[in-house]
C-alpha cells in the first residue's frame, strides 16, 4: 500500500554529513544569518541583492505579483551588458582576465575585461549596422568560443533578445526556434571542433534558414577554416564587419522588465517552449547566487563552469552571473576526453581553477574512466565543487569529493531549471553541513515546499511534488507567444494555491533537507508504492562495480510495474564477470539491502552507454520502450542515436540473464 498522504515513498537513508571547515566558514561570502534576514523581510533582502548591480534609475517597488505574472524592481532601469563589462573597467579592473579560453585543438585566447568591453562594443555596432535594435530577436548557434559571449552581451547591450541554440542541434530544431521567435539575424560559424575534428556548422545552419523569411542576415564567425556555402547579400563574415567597427558604443538603459533572452527547452509534447527571461530580476539573482553558492571572490577566484553556452547553465553561470560579479573564468571549447581523459584536470592545473561546476552525468563518466586519471594532476587549487542538471547519486558525490576535491572542498548540489533562471535550492558552502545527494534547502530569499497531490505539505520524512510557493526575481516571465501554455504547464496543477509546479518529485528527510527524486513522469509504481527512479539508481551506483544506472518501470502483470535497470560498469571492473548471473543477483540483492525488497529490480542489464539528451539527461522513455519490448520511439533528441541500437542488440544477446 502507498503511504497515506505522501506521493512518493521515502526509501533510502543517508547519514553522512560534511560541514565546511572552520577556516572556510570564517571567510565565506554568506553566513547562516542570511536565512533569517531574508525570512524577516524578503523584499528588503532582494533589494539589497539588486543593489549589488549598477542601476541608472532606481526601482520604485521591489515586486508586483499578479499571479502568475511577476514584475521585479519595477520602474528601475539598467543595462545588463554595462553591468557585466563596462563598470568593471570603470572601476579600474580592465586588466583583469574575464576569460581564459581554451580551444579544443589546444589554441588559447586571454580576454581581459578591457578586451571584452571593446569586443562587445564592436559587436553591438556591427549588429546595429545589420539592422538589429531594441526588442529584435537574434538566433545564435555557435561553438564554445568567445564570440558566443560577445554576441550575447552585444544583444543585451542593444536591448535585443538572443535565442541561443545548442551547437549540436539539427537544422530543423534551429529552424523551428528561428520561426517561433521570428529572429532577424542568425549568428553562426563556419564549423566547430568535435572530438578533435572540425565538423561543418554553416552547412547545417544554411539548411535551417533556407526558408525562414524573417532572417535578413547570417553573421559567420570563422573558426575551423571550413569551406562554406555562401549567399551574397545575406551572409556576412564576422571579421569583415565586426573588426572594422569603433570599439566604443554608447549604451541605453532599459526597463528592469525589458526582455533579455529566450531559451528554448523541450516540453513533454513536441514543440519546444521558448522560456522568456527579463533583465533586472534575472541579473540580480544570477549574480547573487553565483556570489554566495560558489563563494566567489572577484579578482581571486578562478571559476570554471563546464556547461555549454546553449543551455541555461551557460547563460546564467558562464555569462551573466560570473561577469556581473567580475569573475575570471575558464571557457573550454571541447569534449572532456579530447585528446585524453585527463583534459579537464589538466585545465584545472594549468589555470589554478578554484571553483569547478559540472553535471552529474560527467562525474559518473569520470568514475567510469577511473580515479587514476584525476590522480595524475595537481588539483590543490580547488576550493568549491558544484553539480547541476540531475540528482547526483550519493556515491558519485563522495567520489567527486574524494577524487576531485581531495576531501577538502564543499560540494554544492544546485537545483534549478531553465524556467527558474538561477539556482534555487543549494547548500551555502560556508554554512551548510551537506549530505551527499541532497540539494538541502532553498537559498536565502527563495521559498519551496514538497506537497501532496492535494497541496498539503508532506512534512519531514515524506515525499511528494516540489513546488515554489513564492515568486523569485529570476523566474521566467512566460513562454514566448503562448500565455495559455505558460499557465497550463506551470500554474494549473496547484492553481488554487498559486504554486509553481516544477515537475520534479522530492522528499524531506527527517532533518528537513530536500532530496530531488527525478521528474514525476518517471516515477514508478510497484505494487502500489510510488518509487523514485533516482533512489534505485543511487542504490545501484553505491555498489563498487557500477558507475552509472538508469531505472525504469515496465508493465508487470502482478505488480503493476516492475523495475528494470540498465547499468554501466566502472573502469577496472572485470566486465565478463560483472555481467554474469551471480554478479547480477548480487546487484539486485544490494538494492534490496540498501533500500528494501520492494525496490529490488526485476531485471538488470549491463550496457555500454545510456541514451541521453544533448544536455546529458537520461531519456528513460526510450529505455521503457526497450524494457516493454516495444519499438523504440523518437530518438531525434538523443546526443548519439546509435546508443539505442547498441542497447537493443545487447539485449537480444543477453536474454535470459536474470
Ligand atoms: O529535474 C530537475 C533537473 O533538471 C531539471 C531542469 O532542467 P533544465 O531546465 O535543463 O536545467 C538544467 C540546469 C539548471 C529539473 O527540473 N535538475 C537540475 N538540477 C538538479 C536537478 N535534479 C536534481 N538535482 C539537481 N541539482
Cβ-based neighbour number of residue 592 at 10 Å: 15
Boundary of a domain, candidates 244, 277, 310: 277
Q: Please choose, from the candidates 254, 238, 356, 246, the residue with its C-alpha nearest in 3D space to the C-alpha of residue 295.
A: 356
Q: How far apart are the first and last CA of the chain?
A: 27
Atom of ligand 1 nearest to the CA of 503: 16
Please give the full DSSP string across 361-386, using - where no structure is assigned: HHHHHHHHH-THHHHTS--TT--EEE
405 falls within a domain: no
- Beta-bridged to residue 302, according to DSSP, are 328
Atom of ligand 1 nearest to the CA of 415: 26
**Rounded CA separation 500/451 (Å):** 12
387 falls within a domain: no
Q: Which of 265, 272, 359, 417 to mutate to test the pocket of ligand 1 (most atoms within 8 A of CB)?
A: 417
Residues 510 and 583 in one domain: no
340 falls within a domain: no
What is residue 27's predicted lDDT score, i.e. its pLDDT?
A: 98
Summarize the annotated binding site as residue ranges: 194-197, 313, 337, 389-391, 413-418, 504, 519, 527, 530, 541, 543, 546
What is residue 658's predicted lDDT score, i.e. its pLDDT?
A: 32
Q: Which of 425, 446, 516, 620 to mutate to test the pocket of ligand 1 (most atoms within 8 A of CB)?
A: 516
Residues 492 and 582 in one domain: no
Cβ-based neighbour number of residue 408 at 10 Å: 14
Residues 583 and 642 in one domain: yes
Residues 273 and 125 in one domain: yes
Q: Atom 8 (ligand 1): residue with closest C-alpha?
A: 417
Q: Atom 6 (ligand 1): residue with closest C-alpha?
A: 417
Residues 527 and 505 in one domain: no
Q: Which of 359, 388, 427 to mutate to test the pocket of ligand 1 (most atoms within 8 A of CB)?
A: 388
Q: Which domain covers residue 261, as residue numbers?
A: 71-277
Contact present, 118 and 85 (Cβ < 8 Å) = no
Over the stretch 554-583, which tens digit does the pLDDT of each residue have?
998 888 899 999 999 998 888 788 888 899
Residues 102 and 142 in one domain: yes
Which CATH number does the domain housing residue 594 bear?
3.30.300.30
What is residue 2's predicted lDDT score, i.e. its pLDDT?
A: 40
Which residues surround ligand 1 with Cβ inside 6 Å? 265, 312-313, 388-391, 413-418, 439, 502-504, 516, 519, 615
User: 419 alpha carbon to ligand 1 midpoint, in Å?
Assistant: 10
Q: 256: exposed, middle or buried (C-beta count within 10 Å: 0-12, 13-18, 19+)? A: buried
Which CATH number does the domain housing residue 482 bear?
2.30.38.10
450 falls within a domain: no
514 falls within a domain: yes
Q: Atom 25 (ligand 1): residue with closest C-alpha?
A: 415
548 Cβ contact list (under 8 Å, min separation 6):
361, 364, 365, 367, 368, 541, 567, 568, 610
The C-alpha cell that represents 525 in the structure block: 509504481
Q: Atom 18 (ligand 1): residue with closest C-alpha?
A: 389
Check residue 337 and give left, alpha or beta (phi > 0: left; psi -120 to 50: alpha): alpha
Atom of ligand 1 nearest to the CA of 439: 26
What is residue 270's predicted lDDT score, i.e. its pLDDT?
A: 63
Residues 556 and 599 in one domain: yes
**Rounded CA separation 220/191 (Å):** 10
Which H helix or E strand runs over 426?
A: none
234 falls within a domain: yes
Residues 183 and 90 in one domain: yes
Please give the full DSSP string across 531-573, using - where no structure is assigned: E-HHHHHHHHHTSTTEEEEEEEEEEETTTEEEEEEEEEEPTTS
Atom of ligand 1 nearest to the CA of 516: 23
429 falls within a domain: no
624 falls within a domain: yes
Boundary of a domain, candidates 212, 244, 277: 277
Boundary of a domain, candidates 230, 257, 277: 277
Which CATH number does the domain housing residue 166 bear?
3.40.50.12780
**Rounded CA separation 429/386 (Å):** 10
Residues 145 and 258 in one domain: yes
User: 311 alpha carbon to ligand 1 midpoint, in Å?
Assistant: 11
Secondary structure (3-state) at 121: helix
User: 534 alpha carbon to ligand 1 midpoint, in Å?
Assistant: 13
Check residue 421 and give left, alpha or beta (phi > 0: left; psi -120 to 50: alpha): left
Which positions of the chain have pLDDT values less than 50? 1-4, 654-658
193 Cβ contact list (under 8 Å, min separation 6):
103, 104, 105, 143, 199, 223, 224, 333, 334
Q: Atom 23 (ligand 1): residue with closest C-alpha?
A: 391
The DSSP call for residue 255 is: E
Residues 97 and 202 in one domain: yes
| Number of domains observed in the structure of the chain | 3
**Rounded CA separation 79/624 (Å):** 47
Residues 469 and 546 in one domain: no
Residues 478 and 575 in one domain: no
Summarize the annotated binding site for ATP as residue ranges: 389-391, 413-418, 504, 519, 530
**Rounded CA separation 45/59 (Å):** 14
Amino acid at each position: 500500500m502507498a503511504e497515506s498522504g505522501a506521493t512518493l515513498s521515502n526509501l533510502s537513508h543517508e547519514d553522512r554529513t560534511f560541514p565546511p571547515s572552520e577556516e572556510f566558514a570564517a571567510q565565506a561570502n554568506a553566513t547562516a544569518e542570511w536565512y533569517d534576514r531574508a525570512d524577516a523581510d524578503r523584499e528588503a533582502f532582494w533589494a539589497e541583492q539588486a543593489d549589488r548591480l549598477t542601476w541608472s534609475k532606481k526601482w520604485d517597488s521591489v515586486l508586483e505579483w499578479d499571479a502568475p505574472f511577476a514584475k521585479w524592481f519595477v520602474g528601475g532601469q539598467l543595462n545588463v551588458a554595462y553591468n557585466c563589462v563596462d563598470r568593471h573597467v570603470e572601476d579600474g579592473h580592465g586588466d583583469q582576465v574575464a576569460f581564459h579560453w581554451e580551444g579544443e585543438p589546444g589554441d588559447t585566447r586571454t580576454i581581459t575585461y578591457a578586451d571584452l568591453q571593446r569586443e562587445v562594443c564592436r559587436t553591438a555596432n556591427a549588429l546595429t549596422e545589420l539592422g538589429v535594435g531594441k526588442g529584435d530577436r537574434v538566433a545564435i548557434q555557435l561553438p564554445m568560443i568567445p564570440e558566443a559571449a560577445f554576441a550575447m552581451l552585444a544583444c543585451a547591450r542593444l536591448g535585443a533578445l538572443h535565442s541561443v541554440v545548442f551547437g549540436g542541434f539539427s537544422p530543423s530544431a534551429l529552424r523551428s526556434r528561428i520561426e517561433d521567435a521570428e529572429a532577424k539575424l542568425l549568428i553562426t560559424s563556419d564549423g566547430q571542433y568535435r572530438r578533435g575534428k572540425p565538423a561543418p556548422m554553416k552547412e547545417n545552419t544554411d539548411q535551417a534558414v533556407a526558408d525562414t523569411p524573417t532572417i535578413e542576415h547570417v553573421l559567420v564567425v570563422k573558426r575551423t577554416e571550413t569551406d562554406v556555402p555562401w549567399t551574397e547579400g545575406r551572409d556576412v563574415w564576422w571579421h569583415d564587419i565586426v573588426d572594422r567597427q569603433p570599439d566604443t558604443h554608447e549604451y541605453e538603459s532599459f526597463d528592469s522588465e525589458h526582455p533579455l533572452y529566450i531559451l528554448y527547452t523541450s516540453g513533454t509534447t513536441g514543440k519546444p517552449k521558448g522560456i522568456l527571461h527579463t533583465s533586472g530580476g534575472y541579473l540580480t539573482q544570477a549574480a547573487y547566487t553565483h556570489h554566495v553558492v560558489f563563494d566567489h571572490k572577484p579578482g581571486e577566484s578562478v571559476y570554471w563552469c563546464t556547461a555549454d553556452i546553449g543551455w541555461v547553465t551557460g547563460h546564467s553561470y558562464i555569462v551573466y552571473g560570473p561577469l556581473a560579479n567580475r569573475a575570471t573564468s575558464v571557457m573550454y571549447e571541447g569534449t572532456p576526453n579530447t585528446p585524453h581523459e585527463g583534459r579537464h584536470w589538466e585545465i584545472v592545473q594549468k589555470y589554478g581553477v578554484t571553483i569547478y561546476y559540472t553535471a552529474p552525468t560527467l562525474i559518473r563518466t569520470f568514475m567510469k574512466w577511473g580515479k587514476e586519471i584525476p590522480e595524475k594532476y595537481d588539483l590543490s587549487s580547488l576550493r568549491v565543487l558544484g553539480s547541476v542538471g540531475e540528482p547526483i547519486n550519493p556515491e558519485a558525490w563522495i567520489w567527486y569529493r574524494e577524487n576531485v576535491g581531495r576531501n577538502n572542498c564543499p560540494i554544492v548540489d544546485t537545483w534549478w531549471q531553465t524556467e527558474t533562471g538561477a539556482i534555487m535550492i543549494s547548500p551555502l558552502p560556508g554554512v551548510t553541513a551537506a549530505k551527499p545527494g541532497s540539494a538541502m534547502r532553498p537559498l536565502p530569499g527563495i521559498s519551496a515546499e514538497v506537497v501532496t497531490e492535494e497541496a498539503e505539505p508532506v512534512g519531514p520524512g515524506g515525499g511528494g511534488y516540489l513546488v515554489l510557493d513564492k515568486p523569485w526575481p529570476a523566474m521566467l516571465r512566460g513562454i514566448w507567444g503562448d500565455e495559455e501554455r505558460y499557465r497550463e504547464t506551470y500554474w494549473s496543477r496547484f492553481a488554487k494555491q498559486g504554486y509553481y509546479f516544477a515537475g520534479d518529485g522530492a522528499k524531506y528527510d527527517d532533518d528537513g533537507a530536500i532530496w530531488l527524486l527525478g521528474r514525476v513522469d518517471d516515477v514508478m509504481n510497484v505494487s502500489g508504492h510510488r518509487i523514485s527512479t533516482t533512489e534505485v539508481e543511487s542504490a545501484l551506483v553505491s555498489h563498487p562495480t557500477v558507475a552509472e544506472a538508469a531505472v525504469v518501470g515496465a508493465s508487470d502483470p502482478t505488480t503493476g510495474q516492475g523495475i528494470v535497470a540498465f547499468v554501466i560498469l566502472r573502469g577496472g571492473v572485470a566486465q565478463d564477470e560483472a555481467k554474469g548471473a551471480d554478479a547480477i543477483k548480487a546487484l539486485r540483492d544490494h538494492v534490496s539491502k540498501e533500500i528494501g525488497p520492494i525496490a529490488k529490480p526485476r531485471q538488470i542489464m549491463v550496457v555500454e552507454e545510456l541514451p541521453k539528451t544533448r544536455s546529458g539527461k537520461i531519456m528513460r522513455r526510450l529505455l521503457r520502450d526497450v524494457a516493454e519490448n516495444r519499438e523504440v520511439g523518437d530518438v531525434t533528441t538523443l546526443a548519439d542515436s546509435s546508443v539505442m541500437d547498441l542497447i537493443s542488440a545487447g539485449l537480444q544477446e543477453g536474454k535470459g540473464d536474470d
